[in-house]
Amino acid sequence: MQTIVDLVAEGREREGALFEPAERATPFSYRDFCTNAWKVGNLLRHYGVREGARVAIVAGPKAPTAGDEPGWIRESPDAFQAFLGAALDGAVVDVDPPGAVDSKVLIAPSDWMDDYQAGPGTKPIAYGGPPEDPRIAHLEREAWSENPLQPPGEFGPENAVLAADRTYTHGDLLAASHRVVSEFDLTAEDRVALRAPVTQPGAIVAGLLAPMRAGATVLLGEGETGTVAVAADDEEVPEERVISPDDAAP
């Protein structure tokens, strides 16, 4: 496994649920989620996303309430799907963007789009909604009709994929996911409760990439107790096994 492209392709062939949201009766299967990540990657290519392009992604629920904060995923993993789609195109993703965004694409919940100022060369794409502003593309609607095949692209493990405190490569994130699977004994039987914001590299590794590598299921939102949690060291959680984003960081 060299890049996130390989991880998504492997997930496409897995059986079972990748995400089980507490607020949704139907889980997101590995097959459907990874196929839709391919579709998002193909959609982003229409908006100019290629190797080295910058993509800003704001994680949040489809319909944020007054108490919701950016970075927390609740009933739907749209932000994770956008992250993987951008990664498939060779883009460099910022999952904690500032208020003024200067990237090729900005992806955020429709209700939060007004909180961000897109630069003149930035295409805003909203999930949830749908957006009322015709200048803002609707992620779900446009990705639905996209080609359900792996996006084209030639890049390797040394290519950058995530911008945070520093820039992380595909190889960095995959090596960290392998370490997390090994150190925390993750298997396909595990149910990983995501109880941390995904604005840190370690949260993306432990809450998405490592479970995908192991074939585990990720639990979203408040509800069922998992076999392991992704949570800060000082967070009280019902799970006995806890992966801190700091411990999972590349």
Per-residue pLDDT reduced to its tens digit, 21-60: 987 879 999 999 999 999 999 999 999 999 999 999 999 9
- pLDDT tier at 183, thresholds 50, 70, 90: very high
8 Å CB contact between 54 and 91: yes
Q: Which sign does the torsion angle of CA 113, 160, 74, 41 carry?
A: positive
8 Å CB contact between 215 and 12: no
- What are the tens digits of pLDDT across the range 116-160? 999 999 999 999 989 999 999 999 999 999 999 999 988 999 999
Residue recorded with tokens 């941390």: 196
Average pLDDT over residues 204-215: 98
Would you state the pLDDT for residue 187? Answer: 98
Domains of the chain, each with CATH number or no CATH: 30-145 (3.40.50.980)
20, two tokens: 């089980």
Residue recorded with tokens 């990720």: 218
Would you state the pLDDT for residue 24? Answer: 80
8 Å CB contact between 174 and 159: no
The percentage of residues in the chain with a pLDDT greater than 70, rounded to a whole number, is 100
